[in-house]
Amino acid sequence: MRLEILLIAASLALQTRAACDCGYAINSTDSPSHAFFTDYIETDFLQLQDVSYSGIGDTGWLPQIWNQTAAAARGQYGRSQEISNIVSNTAFGGNVEGLQLWVRSKVEDGMVSGAEIATNRTDILYGTFRVGMRVTGIAGTCSAFFWYRNDTQEIDMEILSKNVSIVNAILQSDASVGQGFNAQDTPTYQQYDAHTPLAQQFHEYRFDWLPGRVEFFFDGAKITGYMENVPNSPGHLMLSHWSNGNEAWSMGPPVEDATTTISYVKAYFNVSGSDKAFTCASQVAVCLIPEQTAALGSVSGNGSTSFFNPPPAQSSAPTSSATPTLASDAISPCMNANAWIWAWIAYTALVVLGC
């Protein structure tokens, strides 16, 4: 009997410490402008991950393999998204590089060969989405971090390597489809000039999607936002590195093989189709998502950031300065206090039982 209590206490201590069971918040919950989300995908691409057709490690990301003609790709060339262009640390014997997305210089069968990955989940509806990314500096590609439902409900951050200080912040809409799949003359297209060559470092690209509002961020600073053409239906999160020779956009192919490198993705979001009411043990155990306000390290995959949910243990994880840490400082003190109390009860019980 007493042993049972002890085990329950010990397991509660572990659970309370690991989970943000009341969700993840943007801006502190006592601020009038905040939002919170119930689900997450946190991926540390600096860890070893096998890339296979069925997934990238157990990250919840899937490679996208498809071919498209030039006409369908609306460019001078078609697009061929291939698994061989998605390369993880495993290929480097565990050296920390991140996940590489390659665009090849050689045109084959009229197509430029690139890379794309997507979350397996397609029920993502509102959230905050963040990527640590170092884009290629070789002109002629498009590096894209985006949420996608269909061609009229899409949130896009795209960096064209022909002009690698510019971040394009786009909501695709009926208007962009009406203009021949070109958002450039619609109200939900803007260029943000970062005034720095984005290819030299990892930066955090982020968008917050809320009912009726999308805001875009670069290294934690808001760059623009829109209140129109805002998607309202579920979809999935994607990363892509591509080229189709379109003179008005990606240009290319690049003169040599080009890589864009991903160090992490952190996505905190709500999901559609859950008929279960959201409940949590304590209304105060909301994890405040920390802001990433600085560029992340140097040329090598050195994107130090924090995760709430540590990835599963690796058999031969590389040692790196970027090993994820539990962001305990961002967890409400109340939650930590609870965990300590339970741990203390468990410990006392152990001592009392004399085992």
Ligand X SMILES: *[C@@H]1O[C@H](CO)[C@@H](O)[C@H](O)[C@H]1NC(C)=O
Contacting ligand X (CB under 6 A), which of 28, 34, 181, 350? 34
Q: Does 6 bind ligand X (CB under 6 A)?
A: no
Contacting ligand X (CB under 6 A), which of 40, 126, 147, 202? 126
One-letter-per-residue 3-state SS of the chain:
CHHHHHHHHHHHHHHHHHCCCCCEEECCCCCCCCEEECEEEEEECCCCCCEECCEECCCCEEECCEEECHHHHCCCCEEEECHHHEECHHHHCCCCCCEEEEECCCCECCEEEEEEEEECCCCEEEEEEEEEEECCCCCCCEEEEEEEEECCEEEEEEEEHHHCCEEEEEEECHHHHHCCCCCCCCCCEEEEECCCCHHHCEEEEEEEEECCEEEEEECCEEEEEECCCCCCCCEEEEEEEECCCCCCCCCCCCCCCEEEEEEEEEEEEEECCCCCCCCCCCCCCCEECCCCCCCECCCCCCCCCCECCCCCCCCCCCCCCCCCCECHHHCCHHHHHHHHHHHHHHHHHHHHHCC
Nearer to ligand X, 33 or 315 (CB): 33
Stretch that binds ligand X, among 65-73, 140-148, 332-340, 341-349 (CB under 6 A): 65-73
| Residue written as token pair 């990238």 | 56
Nearer to ligand X, 149 or 266 (CB): 149
Q: Does 297 bind ligand X (CB under 6 A)?
A: yes
Contacting ligand X (CB under 6 A), which of 181, 278, 340, 344? 278
| Residue written as token pair 């022909």 | 162
Nearer to ligand X, 300 or 323 (CB): 300
Q: Does 70 bind ligand X (CB under 6 A)?
A: no
Residue 334 beta carbon to ligand X: minimum distance, rounded to whole angstroms: 19
Q: Does 55 bind ligand X (CB under 6 A)?
A: yes
Q: Does 210 bind ligand X (CB under 6 A)?
A: yes
215-226 b/e (C-beta count within 10 Å ≥ 16 → b): bbbbbeeebbbb
Residue 43 beta carbon to ligand X: minimum distance, rounded to whole angstroms: 12
In contact, 69 and 80? CB cutoff 8 Å:
no
Site size toward ligand X, by CB under 6 A: 42
Contacting ligand X (CB under 6 A), which of 105, 182, 191, 224? 191
Residue 62 beta carbon to ligand X: minimum distance, rounded to whole angstroms: 6
Q: Does 95 bind ligand X (CB under 6 A)?
A: no
Q: Does 50 bind ligand X (CB under 6 A)?
A: no
Contacting ligand X (CB under 6 A), which of 30, 33, 53, 185? 33
Residue 337 beta carbon to ligand X: minimum distance, rounded to whole angstroms: 24
Stretch that binds ligand X, among 13-21, 98-106, 160-168, 286-294 (CB under 6 A): 160-168
Contacting ligand X (CB under 6 A), which of 150, 272, 293, 325? 150
Q: Cis ω on the peptide bond leading into residue 253 (within 30° of 0)?
A: yes
Q: Return the structure tokens found at 253.
A: 């192919």
Residue 338 beta carbon to ligand X: minimum distance, rounded to whole angstroms: 22
Q: Does 137 bind ligand X (CB under 6 A)?
A: no
Contact track, ligand X, 300-319, x by CB under 6 A: x-x-----------------
Residue 118 beta carbon to ligand X: minimum distance, rounded to whole angstroms: 11
Residue 331 beta carbon to ligand X: minimum distance, rounded to whole angstroms: 19
Q: Does 109 bind ligand X (CB under 6 A)?
A: yes
Alpha-carbon distance 73 to 85, whole Å? 18
User: 29-33 long-range CB contacts below 8 Å, 24 or more apart?
Assistant: 29/286, 29/288
Residues engaged in binding ligand X (CB under 6 A): 26-27, 33-38, 54-55, 60, 65-67, 80, 108-109, 120, 126, 149-153, 162-163, 166, 191, 193, 208, 210-211, 215, 222, 233, 270, 278, 297-298, 300, 302, 321
